[in-house]
Amino acid sequence: MHNRSAALVPLCAFFIVWEVGCRLFNVQPFILPPPSRVFAVSFLQASILFTHAMTTAAEILLGLALALAVAVPLATSMFYHKIVERALSPLLVASQAIPVFALAPLLIVWLGYGVTSKVVMAAVIIFFPITVSLLEGFKNCDKDYELLFDLMDASFWQKLRLLHWPWALPSFFAGLKMAVAVATIGAVIGEWVGAQRGLGYLMIQMNARLRADMVFASILWLTLIGMGLWGLVGLVENKVLYWKKEG
Amino acid sequence: MEVPRGAFCALVGPSGCGKSTFFDVLMGVLSMDSGEISWGGQTVNDLKHVAAYMQQKDLLLPWLSLEENALLPMKILKRQKEDDRKTVRDLFARFGLSGFENYLPHQVSGGMRQRTALVRTLTFDRELALLDEPLSALDALTRSILQEELLNLQLEFGKTVLMITHDVEEALLLADDVVILSSSPMRPLEHIHITSPKPRRPSDPEIGRYKEVVLSELKRELTVAQ
């Protein structure tokens, strides 16, 4: 609790400077609205923001599911087959060197203005940290434990289920947290390029109408989605990793 | 080198002489350059299927309770029976772990973890126990208590035990046969057969006498190696 309240200090200071600055220099609200106005709009327009936020959140969650569906088998086969790792790891790294945002217009062309293109955008961004961290987790497995399982004549699936997978979980969750923190970016970029719903779409629309307060309100809601996902993953992590030593 | 069935044999030697490598060969992790392994009169590639293994790291899975850890070999070897849990409970009682069945490994002391590892060695239900310095990570008091339990692998449960140790006294207290190993290349240097009844005490004159012999032998071996 003490740590959390410590984080509030710079946050409050930031908002105060912003608010005072806006009023002191008489900044036009369509250029930079004061935070009080952003907060007010966030509540007053909550129903609109909520509808769009639900779309964006759904895109992120589906993207997460898609990324997991790709990353988990990928990391597993890379771990068990050196040849797969050697064949795919340069590709993996290359896939991260391509600016995903450059792909956004193409994805819209291929997959349309609907949810699918955003889900894929989010998944493309998410799957890399998950794959890498899961693979690292697998590789961290103590050789002596593997020897023990070999002596017990454990099958491939037994080793995966009883040893390697639980062993990799802490690292997997670290990657997952990293992934959800950036997942909003993918969905929003997708929405910017072309969409009919979502917070990214709302931002573009409102920006065109010089409603900077609504743009900021959208960002605020996006931040809440990101933090909510982070918190959710943290909760699941605490449940699953009950055996981790405290501290 | 030969170990009679049901005997307790200890291997002592200067560190780095290849004792653990020798175990790796027995367990089929490494293949032999030359030589032969036989078990029960038959030549085999390794002893993977007759051996249980224990070392100084307890190798307990941190996410399983002590009981689940002890049940693991039964689970994996698909020999799971109705009374497995009872077998483990009895063994837990026998090894002073009653009441700790549902604790996680990090919640108990190193001695208790190593006891659980010992129970797991038994639930492997293999005839041969390969022990690689099983107690060297424990404090002196816990070690001396657990030495008696190791002895029970042989006396009470009828296992054949092959133990690597750097503790000469431990070897002399527990083993029927103590083999002193030389380094580079590793080979049996001396074979001491100890007949005095078990359990033995460190104060037994015979133990003291042998200790002198073994230590001087090891010292000479170290000087030669250097």
Domain limits of chain B? 1-50+128-226, 61-125
Distances (CA, A) of A162 to B74, B142, B143: 13, 30, 30
Would you state the pLDDT for residue A114? 87
Would you state the pLDDT for residue A2? 61
Bridge partners, B190 (sequence order):
B180
Q: Which chain A positions have a beta carbon within 8 Å of B52's beta carbon?
A: 151
Q: What does residue B161 show for φ and ψ, rounded to 5 degrees?
A: -120, 130
Both ends of chain B: CA-CA distance in Å? Answer: 25
Provide the shortest C-alpha distance from residue B124 to chain A (in Å).
Answer: 8
Would you state the pLDDT for residue A69? 96
Q: Which chain B positions have a beta carbon within 8 Å of A163's beta carbon?
A: 61
A vs B, Cβ pairs < 8 A, gives 49
**Tokens 């307990």 -> residue:** B60
Would you state the pLDDT for residue A101? 80
Q: Which chain A positions have a beta carbon within 8 Å of B62's beta carbon?
A: 243-244
Q: Which chain B positions have a beta carbon within 8 Å of A149's beta carbon?
A: 76
CB contact under 8 A, B53 and A151: yes
Q: Which chain B positions have a beta carbon within 8 Å of A245's beta carbon?
A: 106
**pTM of the predicted model over 0.90:** no
Would you state the pLDDT for residue B225? 66
Of B27, B52, B62, the CB nearest to A243: B62
Would you state the pLDDT for residue B162? 93
| Tens-digit pLDDT profile for residues B162-179 | 999 988 889 999 999 999
A190/A102 Cα distance (integer angstroms): 10
**Mean pLDDT computed over B101-128:** 91
Give residues 155 to 184 of A whose Cβ lies within 8 Å of B.
Answer: 158, 162-163, 166
Q: Which CATH superfamily is domain A35-240 in?
A: MetI-like (1.10.3720.10)
Residues 6+ apart with CB under 8 A from B66: B60, B92, B97, B100, B101, B102, B103, B104, B105, B108, B112, B113, B116
Q: Which of A128-132, B49-53, B61-65, B202-206 has the lowest mean pLDDT?
A: B202-206
User: Going residue by residue through chain A (247 aa), what tens digit of pLDDT does each one get?
Assistant: 566 788 889 989 999 999 999 999 999 989 999 999 999 999 999 999 999 999 999 999 999 999 999 999 999 999 999 999 999 988 888 888 888 788 888 988 999 888 899 999 999 888 889 999 999 999 999 999 999 999 888 899 999 999 999 999 999 999 999 898 888 888 898 899 888 899 999 999 999 999 999 999 999 999 999 999 999 999 999 999 988 865 4
For residues A171 and A137, is the Cβ–Cβ distance under 8 A?
A: yes
CATH number of B1-50+128-226: 3.40.50.300
Nearest-Cα residue of chain B relative to residue A148: B53
Would you state the pLDDT for residue A247? 41
Of B28, B48, B104, the CB nearest to A243: B104
Identify which has the larger pLDDT, B225 or B102: B102
Q: Which chain A positions have a beta carbon within 8 Å of B106's beta carbon?
A: 243, 245
Q: Which chain A positions have a beta carbon within 8 Å of B28's beta carbon?
A: 150
Residue B13 structure tokens:
């030697």
Of A144, A147, A243, the CB nearest to B63: A243
Question: What are the sequence ranges of the domains in chain A?
Answer: 1-32, 35-240
The 3 state secondary structure assigned to chain B is CCCCCCCEEEEECCCCCCHHHHHHHHCCCCCCCCCCEEECCEEECCCCCCEEEEECCCCCCCCCCHHHHHHHHHHHCCCCCCCHHHHHHHHHHHCCCCCCCCCCHHHCCHHHHHHHHHHHHHHCCCCEEEEECCCCCCCHHHHHHHHHHHHHHHHCCCCEEEEECCCHHHHHHHCCEEEEEECCCCEEEEEEECCCCCCCCCCCHHHHHHHHHHHHHHHHHHHHHC
pLDDT band at B185 (very low <50, low <70, confident <90, very high): confident
On the question of pLDDT at B161 being above 80, the answer is yes
On the question of pLDDT at B184 being above 80, the answer is no
Would you state the pLDDT for residue A64? 94
Of B62, B64, B77, the CB nearest to A152: B77
Chain B residues whose C-beta is within 8 A of a chain A C-beta are 27-29, 48-49, 51-53, 55, 57, 59, 61-64, 72-73, 75-77, 104, 106, 124
A77/A71 Cα distance (integer angstroms): 10
Nearest-Cα residue of chain A relative to residue B71: A152
On the question of pLDDT at B183 being above 50, the answer is yes
CB contact under 8 A, B48 and A151: yes
Reading across the β-sheet that carries B128-132, which strands appear in turn? B51-55, B128-132, B160-164, B8-12, B177-182, B187-193
